[in-house]
Amino acid sequence: MLVTGGARSGKSRFAENLAAASGRQVVYVATAVAGDEEMRLRIEQHRRRRPPEWKTVEEPRHLARVIVQYDAPDRILLVDCMAVYLSNLLLDRLPRYSDLDEDAFPLPGRKGLAEAIEAEIGELVRAVWEAESRIIAVTNEVGWGLEPAYPLGRAYREWLGWTNRRLAEVARAVYLVVCGLPVELKGRSVEARWEDGSP
């Protein structure tokens, strides 16, 4: 399941409520890194909201590996969030390339940074597709606002949109959360899925 929406739309809380209502063991996969005080406070806020019985795995970069490691039929893996994960991937690899040129953008046949990011996302999508766990991935919609002023911002926007599309293709359900209200874009109602045991 993919849960998307704007900043502070309530998407994480919606995903957490779904996981809690499932009755399954929950593994919360956190991708954020406390790089500054604001992020540290946001991470702490999320930690306080989680039930104590949930297992938390902090993994900013290797999501496919974590999904394979913790995959089990009786579990829910809640990944929060894809937007931060993608930012981590981009910033991790930038020092390896001299310029953020056109090869940093997600178009077929591009090499360098684009090829490396596409391989990472491909590995993640395969892990999600093959998993026996129910997976709830939280992400952001970043393409509805102003044009980013810098190439890195534009590359990030392009990659996140591309990643969200890839995940939506393999997800059985996709929700857009607006003003705290979930709008179902794909799949059946959450209640029906929980009742019949489908992911």
Q: What share of the chain in percent tops pLDDT 90? A: 57
Question: Which CATH number do you get for residue 82?
Answer: 3.40.50.300
Model pLDDT, residue 74? 95
Which residues are catalytic, by number?
A: 46
Calculate Rg over the CA atoms of the chain. Answer: 17
Lowest mean pLDDT among 12-26, 77-91, 112-126, 129-143: 112-126
This prediction's pTM: 0.85
Going through 81-144 in order, the beta strands assigned E by DSSP cover 134-138
Strands 174-178 and 181-186: antiparallel
Q: For residue range 169-193, what is the model confidence (pLDDT) as tens digits? A: 999 999 999 999 999 999 966 545 5
Instruction: Give the domain range for residue 188.
Output: 2-196
- Which of the given ranges, 20-34, 88-102, 123-137, has the highest pLDDT on average? 123-137
**d(C-alpha 27, C-alpha 37), whole Å:** 26
Lowest mean pLDDT among 17-26, 38-47, 81-90: 38-47
**Higher-confidence position of 45 and 182:** 182
Q: For residue range 145-163, what is the model confidence (pLDDT) as tens digits? A: 888 888 778 888 989 999 9
- Tokens in use for 54? 């949930």
**Higher-confidence position of 75 and 33:** 75
In the predicted model, what is the mean pLDDT of the chain?
86
Domains contained in the chain, number:
1
Q: List phi, psi (to 5°) of 113.
A: -60, -45
**d(C-alpha 56, C-alpha 36), whole Å:** 21
**d(C-alpha 116, C-alpha 118), whole Å:** 6
**d(C-alpha 137, C-alpha 163), whole Å:** 12
**Higher-confidence position of 102 and 48:** 48
